[in-house]
Amino acid sequence: MDRGAGEGAALAHDVLPGPPALRVHTAAIVDSDADLLAAAVPFVEEGLRAGDLTVLSCGPEAATLLAGAFGEALGGVERDARMALLDTRAPDALGVTRQLLARAAETRSGRLRVLGQVQFGSDPVSWREGQRYEAAVNALLDGCPLTAMCLYDSRVLPTAVVSSARLTHPQVVADGRWVDSPEYCDPRDFLRLLPVPREPVEDIPPVLAIDDAPTLAGLRHALAAALETRVPDRDQREDLHLAISEVAANAFRHGRRPVSARLWADGTRMVCTITDAGGTFGDPLAGFQPAHGDDLSRGGMGLWLARKLWDSVDLLPGAHGLTVRLCTRLH
């Protein structure tokens, strides 16, 4: 660690007040190692003093930087990169967080504290999924004994991702203090307002087009046959089919006929849409966790499985019903 970074961290510890005890989700926008440490060090130290279950969720470079600042003290901090969406989709990251919350209940403070480094991937599709995740947790974890700080490093993140931090975090770190973000947006409003990008693969003819599928079994069979010739990886093929089968089942059980399907694929990416003529339900938070909580025997797993197994899922209400749109990269 360079001397300047260490001095910056020590100064910040004097001026940064401790965060409120419950349910805080804040963003710290940084542009140097010194800025990163100035935000992160007092945050982690506060958690260790309070007896929080303190977890570091970041990449190896930030972990090394923090190790230099903390030394042996970092041994009291757990590490789990999944909450920062590193090789993890949002439903699984939320599942990990809930498991840690259960463990935190047994600690001295009963609280979970997470320091996360924002790394949403290298393309606009993954950036959008990361932004959705940051917004959704505000509603899905509301009231939980959780204090989270997300580090947005403007040296490596695109401007659009950095700018969204103020929209998806109720608090931000400004001039060394925790303040309410004047730009914070209600999670559902933020998710609804996010534009749905059209995939280039949708500009070619679909490899499967079914209007008014007569039966769920027939639709599932047709989807399986299309996937068989378009998805070379067997494990991915089975995962994708499981998810779209569940979405199709939802359309038949909870929607209204006609039920239609479209599938596009170009060897690199795949898009599937399932449309029914039922209501225009489209809660943008649906599917980030099972509809009935941990009791999976009650069902309600269709959209949750879809979000777990496809890269992105959009619920698109329209004048003639609801379309579920699923997109993914092919292995």
Please write the tens of the pLDDT for every residue from 224-269: 999 999 999 999 999 999 999 999 999 998 889 999 999 999 999 9
What is the average pLDDT across 131-142? 95
What spatial distance separates the first Cα and last Cα of the chain, rounded to whole Å? Answer: 39
Angle in degrees, CA 74, 36, 124, rounded to 5? 110
Residue 291 DSSP label: T
Strands (DSSP E) along the chain, which ranges?
24-30, 53-57, 78-79, 112-117, 146-153, 171-174, 177-180, 208-210, 259-265, 269-276, 312-318, 321-329
Q: How far is CA 156 from CA 40, 102, 260, in A?
A: 17, 33, 42
**One-letter amino acid of 287:** G
pLDDT at 102: 95
116 in Cβ contact with 57 (< 8 Å): yes
Instruction: For residue 300, give its domain range.
Output: 200-329
**Predicted local confidence at residue 246, as pLDDT:** 94
175 and 62 fall within a common domain: yes
Taking the C-alpha atoms of residue 187 and residue 199, their distance in angstroms, rounded to an integer, is 24
Residue 8 has a pLDDT of 31
Average pLDDT over all residues of the chain:
87
Domain boundary among 193, 209, 242: 193
Please check whether residues 149 and 210 belong to one and the same domain.
Answer: no
User: Does 152 share its domain with 189?
Assistant: yes
Q: What is the pLDDT of residues 16-61, one digit of tens each?
A: 444 444 468 999 999 999 999 999 999 999 999 999 999 999 888 8
Q: Are residues 47 and 173 in the same domain?
A: yes
Q: Which domain-ending residue is among 193, 216, 237?
A: 193
Residues 187 and 89 in one domain: yes
Strand, helix or coil for residue 121: coil
* Whether residues 35 and 174 fall in one domain: yes
Q: Residues 20, 46: contact at Cβ < 8 Å?
A: no
Q: Are 255 and 238 part of one and the same domain?
A: yes
Q: Facing residues of 24 across strands?
A: 147
Q: Find the mean pLDDT for residues 217-223.
A: 97
- How confident is the model at residue 295, as a pLDDT? 54
Q: Give the rounded percent of residues in the chain with a pLDDT score beyond 90.
A: 69
User: CA of 145: how far to CAs of 17, 57, 105, 107, 261, in Å?
Assistant: 18, 18, 9, 12, 42
- 303 and 205 in a common domain: yes
The percentage of residues in the chain with a pLDDT greater than 70, rounded to a whole number, is 88
| Residue 141 and residue 63 share a domain | yes
* Domain shared by 317 and 245, yes or no: yes
One domain, residues 24 and 142: yes
pLDDT band at 122 (very low <50, low <70, confident <90, very high): confident
Q: Burial, 249: exposed, middle or buried (Cβ in 10 Å; 0-12, 13-18, 19+)?
A: middle
d(CA 189, CA 32): 32
CATH number of domain containing 160: 3.40.50
Which pLDDT score is estimated for 298?
53
Residue 86 and residue 139 share a domain = yes
Pairing assessment for the beta strands 53-57 and 78-79 based on DSSP bridges: parallel
**β-pairing, 24-30 with 146-153?**
parallel
Q: What CATH number has the domain bearing residue 220? A: 3.30.565.10
Looking at the structure of the chain, the number of domains it has is 2
pTM strictly above 0.85: yes
Q: Of 129, 161, 193, which residue is a domain's last? A: 193
